[in-house]
């Protein structure tokens, strides 16, 4: 039996680019904007929002729990609520209502981000404002609004399809304060990385190592082998693995990603059908006035429909031991509460002779039980029964969901891969 294990190590700076922190990394202003978005909504913002959206959205009253349960009899809970966390709609998977609301309320939330920028602009002295006008600055507000409308066509579609798929009915699911700008903002960043031509360079930096690792292990016998991709995000890696003939199961718990992926896989009829302008609310690190309005289209490649998506927690959704010939983790192992649980689960799910291929940073959150070094991750793998191949250890550079012509550039690290014989 031989198990290969690729390990990637990144510089600390890179680590902030990893999914939950992507927005904050790209623009601190955007992050504080999104925090403020949770506060109550101003009348002025609401008026603008109504003007902005084609179907004036008088926010619907939150539905009562009883009525909701009656209307959602098909939806199943995916995982239990963590201790003490409020969960108003037990018949919906955790986080789903929040994400549907966020996609629905996106134009409103994005408008608030603009309002805050406008507020800071308007507070200038008359002389400062005159100069700003010479720069053409006020025009950005109107142009950004047009971009928000472009994005809203996509986000509303995501929400509508989600409501159909999970039988929520037409009612509002939560108070609108429950909607969060960054849910949609992250989704746009990830869509760009996974499914736009602009994201090809980032994908090219990391996907080949993983795909080569599979080919190296299975040779010509890969067809039909069962591969699990936990934390699959927007699903491009899983799809690319499926394109090679593997039998792929993707697993994801974040509905921000799941819902957008639903739209791409099951409700898209042509390549490049959807247009996004992900930076219309992010004005930091821009090279030129117009780079704020850069548009991209998705998908640039057909998502492979043979991929089976399992929604829910990787630690809970796969009861059967030894189910997979390979587990592939990309930007994943550092994200959980305890890496011992993640690695043990990967080991349990592999059949004898199976392979685990990992690539990603070790940006442990402050909530994690252990913040291991690369060497310790390998030792842990060894302790858990993996047969680590140290010769597979190698170095690659990577960025994650970064705007192409952003002025913000980092050296993105050192990737070390290991192979071990057992």
Ligand X SMILES: *[C@@H]1O[C@H](CO)[C@@H](O)[C@H](O)[C@H]1NC(C)=O
Ligand Y SMILES: C[S@@+](CC[C@H](N)C(=O)[O-])C[C@H]1O[C@@H](n2cnc3c(N)ncnc32)[C@H](O)[C@@H]1O
- Nearer residue to ligand Y within complex by CB, 303 or 336: 336
Cα separation, 299 vs 191, whole angstroms: 8
Q: What is the Cα–Cα distance from 350 to 348, expressed in whole angstroms?
A: 6
Measured CA to CA in angstroms, residue 228 lies from 54, 256, 326, 380 at distances of: 42, 20, 6, 21
**From 44-52, 135-143, 224-232, 279-287, span contacting ligand Y (CB under 6 A):** 224-232
Check residue 233 for interaction with ligand Y (CB under 6 A). Answer: yes
Least separation in angstroms between CB 242 and ligand X: 5
Among 306, 351, 371, 379, binds ligand X (CB under 6 A): 306
CA distance 3 to 111: 51
Residue 301 in tokens: 């490649």
Cβ-contact 254, 228 below 8 angstroms:
no
Of 69, 243, 382, 414, the one binding ligand X by CB under 6 A? 243
What residue 265 binds from ligand X, ligand Y, none (CB within 5 to 8 A, per partner kind)? ligand X
Q: How far is CA 41 from CA 38, 59, 273, 342, 409, in A?
A: 8, 11, 33, 40, 35
**Please, which residues have CB within 8 angstroms of residue 83's CB and are 6 or more apart in sequence?**
none
From its phi and psi, is residue 285 left (phi > 0), alpha (psi between -120 and 50) or beta?
left
End-to-end Cα, the chain, rounded Å: 7
Which of 199, 213, 231, 303 is in the footprint of ligand Y by CB under 6 A? 231
DSSP codes joined into one string, 375-421: HHHHHHHHHTT----GGG--------S--TT-S------B---EE--
Q: Are 362 and 375 in contact (CB under 8 A)?
A: no
Does 304 interact with ligand X (rule: CB under 6 A)? yes
Contact track, ligand Y, 245-274, x by CB under 6 A: ------xxxx--x-----------------
CB of 2 to ligand X, least distance (A): 25
Minimum distance, C-beta of residue 267 to ligand Y, in the bound complex (Å): 20
Residue 189 near which of ligand Y, ligand X, none (CB within 5-8 Å, type-dependent): none
For 292, the 3-state DSSP assignment is: helix
Choose the contact partner of 330 out of ligand X, ligand Y, none; CB within 5 to 8 A by kind.
Answer: ligand Y
CB of 309 to ligand Y, least distance (A): 11
Region near ligand X per CB under 6 A, out of 110-118, 299-307, 330-338, 357-365: 299-307
Residue span 312-351 as binding mask against ligand Y, x where in contact by CB under 6 A, dash where not? -xxx--------------xxx--xx---------------
Which residue in the set 20, 136, 169, 245 belongs to the binding site for ligand X (CB under 6 A)? 245
How far apart, in whole angstroms, are the C-alpha atoms of residue 196 and residue 159?
A: 21
Quick one: 31 or 152, whose CB is closer to ligand Y?
31
Residue facing ligand Y at closest CB distance: 231
- For 60, the token pair is 């619907």
266 touches ligand X by CB under 6 A: yes
| List of residues 6+ apart from 19 with CB closer than 8 A | 186, 190, 233, 331, 335, 400, 401
Nearer to ligand Y, 147 or 312 (CB): 312
Decide whether 71 or 265 has the Cβ nearer to ligand X: 265
Give whichever of 107 and 231 is closer to ligand Y, judged by the CB atom. 231
Choose the binding region for ligand X from 45-53, 168-176, 193-201, 298-306 (rule: CB under 6 A). 298-306
Q: Tell me how far, at minimum, the Cβ of 25 lies from ligand X, in Å.
A: 28
Q: What interhelical angle do 96-122 and 255-266 show, nearest 10?
A: 100
Instruction: Quickly list H helices, 350-403.
Output: 374-383
141 binds ligand X (CB under 6 A): no
Check if the beta carbon of residue 93 is closer than 8 Å to that of residue 311: yes
- Residue 128, Cβ density class (10 Å: 0-12 exposed, 13-18 middle, ≥19 buried): exposed
Least distance in Å: CB of 295 to ligand X? 25
Looking at beta carbons only, is 41 or 183 nearer to ligand X? 183
**Residue 271 interacting with ligand X (CB under 6 A):** no
Task: Establish whether the linkage from the previous residue to 346 is cis, with ω within 30° of 0.
Answer: no
State the DSSP H helix or E strand holding residue 210, giving kind and residue range, or none if neither: helix 200-218
Our finding on whether 361 is near ligand Y (CB under 6 A) is no
List beta partners, residue 5.
Answer: 418
Indicate which of ligand Y, ligand X, none lies near residue 331 (CB less than 5 to 8 Å, by partner kind).
ligand Y
Q: Which residues bind ligand X (CB under 6 A)?
A: 242-243, 245, 261-262, 265-266, 302, 304, 306, 309
Q: Which residues bind ligand Y (CB under 6 A)?
A: 18-19, 230-233, 251-254, 257, 313-315, 330-332, 335-336
């Amino acid at each position: 039996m031989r198990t290969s294990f690729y390990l990637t190590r990144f510089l600390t700076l890179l680590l902030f680019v990893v999914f939950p922190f992507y927005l904050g990394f790209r623009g601190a202003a955007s992050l504080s904007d999104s925090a403020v978005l949770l506060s109550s909504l101003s009348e002025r913002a609401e008026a603008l929002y109504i003007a902005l959206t084609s179907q004036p959205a008088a926010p619907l009253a939150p539905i009562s729990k009883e009525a909701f349960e009656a209307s959602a009899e098909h939806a199943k809970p995916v995982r239990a609520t963590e201790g003490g966390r409020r969960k108003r709609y037990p018949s919906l998977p955790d986080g789903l209502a929040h994400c549907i609301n966020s996609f629905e309320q996106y134009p409103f939330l994005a408008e608030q981000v603009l309002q805050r920028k406008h507020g800071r602009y308007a507070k200038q002295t008359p002389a400062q404002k005159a100069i700003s006008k010479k720069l053409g600055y006020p025009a950005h507000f109107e142009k950004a609004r047009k971009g928000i409308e472009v994005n809203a066509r996509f986000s509303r579609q995501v929400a509508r399809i989600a409501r159909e798929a999970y039988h929520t009915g037409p009612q509002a699911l939560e108070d609108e304060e429950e909607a969060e700008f960054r849910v949609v903002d992250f989704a746009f960043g990830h869509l760009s990385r996974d499914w736009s031509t602009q994201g090809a360079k980032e994908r090219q930096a990391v996907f080949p190592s993983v795909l080569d690792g599979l080919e190296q292990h299975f040779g010509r016998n890969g067809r039909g082998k069962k591969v699990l991709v936990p934390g699959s995000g927007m699903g491009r890696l899983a799809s690319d693995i499926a394109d090679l003939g593997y039998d792929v199961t993707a697993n994801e718990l974040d509905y921000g990603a799941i819902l957008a992926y639903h739209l791409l896989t099951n409700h898209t009829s042509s390549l490049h059908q959807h247009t996004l302008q992900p930076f219309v609310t992010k004005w930091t690190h821009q090279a030129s006035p117009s780079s704020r309005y850069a548009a991209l289209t998705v998908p640039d490649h057909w998502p492979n429909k043979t991929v089976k998506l399992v929604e829910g927690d990787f630690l809970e959704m796969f009861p059967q031991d030894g189910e997979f010939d390979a587990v592939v983790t990309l930007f994943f192992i550092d994200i959980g509460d305890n890496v011992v649980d993640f690695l043990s689960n990967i080991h349990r799910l592999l059949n004898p002779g199976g392979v685990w291929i990992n690539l990603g940073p070790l940006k442990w959150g402050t909530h994690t039980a252990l913040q291991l070094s690369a060497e310790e991750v390998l030792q842990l793998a060894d302790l858990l029964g993996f047969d680590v191949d140290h010769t597979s250890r190698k170095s690659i550079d990577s960025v994650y969901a970064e705007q192409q012509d952003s002025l913000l550039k980092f050296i993105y690290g050192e990737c070390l891969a290991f192979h071990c014989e057992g």
